Amino acid sequence: MATLLRKIGLIRLHNRDTEDPKHHHHHRSSQQGSSLRAKGSQKNSSNKPPPGSAGGGGCSSSSSGGEGSPGGHRSKKAPEPARQPAQPGPGGGRERPREAARDPGSVKESKAALGSGGRPGSAPLGPLPSGSAPLVPAGRQQHCTQVRTRRLMKELQDIARLSDRFISVELVDESLFDWNVKLHQVDKDSVLWQDMKETNTEYILLNLTFPDNFPFSPPFMRVLSPRLENGYVLDGGAICMELLTPRGWSSAYTVEAVMRQFAASLVKGQGRICRKAGKSKKSFSRKEAEATFKSLVKTHEKYGWVTPPVSDG
């Protein structure tokens, strides 16, 4: 019996000693590797980035979890906006966008509100009609009309009270802003006065039109008849006087004062009544007078109120 037991023990020792040691080592290593892989997979499952990110391992964007994950579980996640691609985070995960995508409709409404010059939600301003100019406020225009009317009414009253009957006024088509003024007297020692006596000319007729902003702008004044030469009377009946220009005008000037100045300039400039055949019967033209006056104003602005060169007329 003892001999049998010793043989059995020797056989077991022999079998144990004859087993491949590499097999034991491989089996033990495989068990340790399985344990380590199980622990590593559990650890990586918490840090594994969703598919579609830089660390997604090329997974399709339609799936959010790998089929070979330890639990085989798929988590559903809302699709990200196309305009804001996800950026990989420092830990391999995706960073959440700082602000949500804006609604396209709200963006358009904000731009429309800002473009209209108002606050969001306000109605946009309509465009001005094509070719339209800014209108003068009705209140200001009415005020200018009142100032001009009061001034001209006073002027008419003062002229009617003149004792020497130096000038007289007739309204053109009953318009308070368009006058025909008759100059009845000039210096009686002048050649012009002699011409008036010889030609039976009772007066020199002038036309004055008053602008909207009179008395702050000068009237336009021109000679109608008779046809004069020299005396600072130019083509069309235009009058070369500095006080009739915007630069030389003052709102303190009255119509009477302007007419007296004109009578003096006629004498000083050696004005004469034209007696040339044919030319004396030709009447002055308003259009020609306006063009001449604009030209002389431009010339005097360049050279001042002195005698300009002959080349400039």
What CATH number is given to the structural domain containing 259?
A: 3.10.110.10
Instruction: Confirm whether 171 is domain-assigned.
Output: yes
For residue 299, the model assigns a pLDDT of: 86
Instruction: Confirm whether 9 is domain-assigned.
Output: no
Instruction: Confirm whether 160 is domain-assigned.
Output: yes
For residue 30, the model assigns a pLDDT of: 52
For residue 168, the model assigns a pLDDT of: 96
- Output the DSSP codes for the chain: -HHHHHHHHHHHHHHHHHS-HHHHHHHHHHHHHHHHHHHHHHHHHHHPPPTTSTTSTT--TT-SS-TTSTT--PPP-PPPPTTS---B-TTSSBPPPSSPPPPHHHHHHHHHHHHTTS-TTSPPPPPPPTT--PPPPHHHHHHHHHHHHHHHHHHHHHHHT-SS--EEEEEGGG-TTEEEEEE----TTSHHHHHHHHTT---EEEEEE--TTTTSSPPEEEEEES-EESTTB-GGGBB--GGGSTTT--TT--HHHHHHHHHHHHHHTT-EE--STTTTTPPP-HHHHHHHHHHHHHHHHHH-SS---GGG-
For residue 249, the model assigns a pLDDT of: 95
Instruction: Confirm whether 33 is domain-assigned.
Output: no
For the question of residue 274 being annotated catalytic, the response is: no
User: 48: closest CA among 101, 98, 89, 97?
Assistant: 89
Task: Give residue-wise pLDDT tens across range 31-90.
Answer: 555 555 555 555 454 454 444 444 444 343 443 444 444 444 444 455 555 555 555 555
Instruction: Confirm whether 222 is domain-assigned.
Output: yes
**pLDDT lower than 70: segments of the chain:** 1-136, 277-281, 306-313
Residue among 59, 144, 240, 274 flagged as catalytic: 240
**Alpha-carbon distance 87 to 94, whole Å?**
6
For residue 34, the model assigns a pLDDT of: 55
Number of domains forming the structure of the chain? 1
Predicted TM-score (pTM) of this structure: 0.55
Domain residues for the domain of 154 are: 141-301
Instruction: Confirm whether 313 is domain-assigned.
Output: no
For residue 85, the model assigns a pLDDT of: 52
Instruction: Confirm whether 131 is domain-assigned.
Output: no
Instruction: Confirm whether 168 is domain-assigned.
Output: yes
Contacts of 283 (CB under 8 A, 6+ apart): 224, 225, 227
